[in-house]
């Protein structure tokens, strides 16, 4: 049963999951001893990194958040109407909202307000790895939108069971917005959505936000600008991962000795972020729970690949959803087709 599994899984996780410090040590060792060197993007989001990301979402060049928010403003009632559509066995379903990687949930309020207009009350379950972000989300929603009951859950939604405390006769609408799905390789994106699907019932809905490939109006220059902004905020966000490793692992990176670089990889349809070492240098990481001390050597021009941000075609979105157990039913995009919000039904 979904409820029992969720409870015992989270109990198991709280008893036996590696502590975050161990997870950082293990992830960093694996990534920086491989060729080419990599660091996983979840490492960006310490307190300072989360703050820098919030600033990125307000930059003029970073169109993703602005356009997605605009799509919600324009289409929230229509999105919620379609998500609440009656089916044979469920003539007037009430929605429960669950959000993967909710962060501070600033855009979600628009959708919650539309749900409350339609059904008066709603249970909202934001899931995130960051406890501080969830506290902010809860405060933000509780004080601004009457009728919402917030039940937050700290969890890694990519692998863990979700807190679906389903009331009788409700339909779950799962939100996975902001193009967070873009951080995953095509195979991993499919696994994340399948993990979600496994915890839903047929007829439940998914609202997926996806950044789009360049097209008639959108150019590669728009993409590169969004990941290499004039104020240097994205560069600071990228380098902050090295600051984090110095603080948490006692490493001795000189972040100013690494250059921020965003490049468009057309064959993989993704923006890549790298930290380039323009000079030969060595970095030391003391022994930790993941193993003995490390001396890392960087050749001039060598990079650490810190992030992939995949960009989608409509066909790719459709096939990814289908391969994960969903059917795409509606897509909303801006007139210039920079970004898409997609509604799908669990099959």
**Ramachandran area for residue 313 (φ above 0: left; ψ -120 to 50: alpha; else beta):** beta
Q: Which of 93, 182 has the CB closer to ligand AVJ?
A: 182
How many Å apart are CA 34 and CA 51, to the nearest integer? Answer: 29
Task: Quote the least distance from Cβ 49 to ligand AVJ, whole Å.
Answer: 10
- Smallest distance from the beta carbon of 121 to ligand AVJ, in angstroms? 30
Name which of 5 and 230 has its Cβ closer to ligand AVJ: 230
Residues in touch with ligand AVJ (CB under 6 A)? 56, 64, 178-180, 182-183, 227, 234, 307, 309
Q: For residues 138 and 234, which CB has a smaller minimum distance to ligand AVJ in the complex?
A: 234
Long-range contacts of range 248-253, CB-CB < 8 Å, 24 or more positions apart?
Answer: 248/21, 248/24, 248/46, 249/24, 249/25, 249/28, 249/285, 249/286, 249/288, 250/285, 250/286, 251/283, 251/284, 251/285, 251/286, 252/283, 252/284, 253/283
Q: Which residue is nearest to ligand AVJ (CB)?
A: 309
Nearer to ligand AVJ, 8 or 219 (CB): 219
CB of 123 to ligand AVJ, least distance (A): 25
CA–CA gap between residue 231 and residue 59 (Å, rounded): 9
Q: Could you tell me the smallest distance in angstroms from the CB atom of residue 258 to ligand AVJ?
A: 16
Name the burial class of residue 217, with classes exposed (0-12), middle (13-18) and buried (19+) by CB atoms within 10 angstroms of its CB.
exposed
In angstroms, give the least distance from the CB of 194 to ligand AVJ.
20
Instruction: Write the DSSP string, 207-223.
Output: EEEEEB---SS--HHHH
- Whose Cβ is closer to ligand AVJ: residue 64's or residue 192's? 64
Q: Give min distance, CB of 47 to ligand AVJ, in A.
A: 16
**Residue placing its CB nearer to ligand AVJ in the complex, 122 or 312:** 312
How far apart CA 81 and CA 343 sit, in angstroms, is: 11
Instruction: Output helix, strand, coil percentages for the chain, rounded to the nearest 5.
Output: 40, 25, 35
């Amino acid at each position: 049963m979904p409820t029992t599994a969720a409870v015992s899984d989270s109990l198991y996780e709280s008893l036996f999951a590696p502590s975050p410090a161990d997870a950082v040590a293990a992830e960093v060792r694996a990534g920086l001893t491989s060729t080419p060197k990599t660091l996983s993007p979840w490492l960006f989001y310490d307190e300072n990194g989360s703050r820098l990301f919030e600033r990125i979402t307000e930059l003029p060049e970073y169109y993703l958040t602005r356009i997605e928010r605009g799509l919600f403003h324009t289409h929230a009632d229509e999105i919620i109407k379609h998500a609440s559509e009656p089916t044979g066995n469920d003539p007037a379903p009430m929605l429960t909202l669950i959000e993967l990687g909710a962060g501070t949930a600033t855009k979600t309020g628009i959708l919650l307000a539309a749900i409350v207009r339609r059904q008066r009350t709603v249970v909202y379950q934001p899931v995130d790895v960051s406890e501080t972000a969830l506290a902010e989300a809860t405060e933000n929603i509780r004080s601004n939108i009457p009728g919402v009951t917030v039940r937050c859950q700290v969890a890694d939604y990519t692998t863990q069971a979700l807190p679906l405390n389903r009331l009788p006769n409700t339909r779950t609408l799962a939100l996975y917005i902001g193009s967070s799905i873009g951080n995953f390789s095509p195979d991993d994106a499919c696994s994340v959505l399948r993990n979600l699907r496994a915890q839903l019932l047929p007829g439940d809905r998914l609202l997926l936000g996806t950044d789009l490939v360049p097209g008639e109006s959108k150019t590669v220059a728009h993409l590169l600008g969004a990941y290499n902004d004039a104020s240097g905020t994205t560069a600071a966000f990228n380098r902050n991962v090295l600051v984090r490793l110095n603080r948490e692992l006692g490493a001795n990176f000189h972040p100013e000795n690494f250059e921020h670089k965003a490049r468009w990889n057309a064959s993989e349809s993704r923006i890549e972020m790298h930290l380039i070492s323009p000079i030969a240098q060595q970095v030391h990481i003391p022994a930790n729970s993941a193993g003995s001390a490390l001396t890392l050597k960087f050749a001039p021009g060598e990079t650490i690949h810190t992030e992939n941000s995949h960009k989608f075609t409509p066909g790719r979105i459709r096939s990814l959803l289908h391969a994960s157990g969903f059917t795409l039913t509606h897509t909303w995009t801006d007139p210039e087709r920079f970004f898409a919000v997609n509604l799908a039904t669990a099959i």
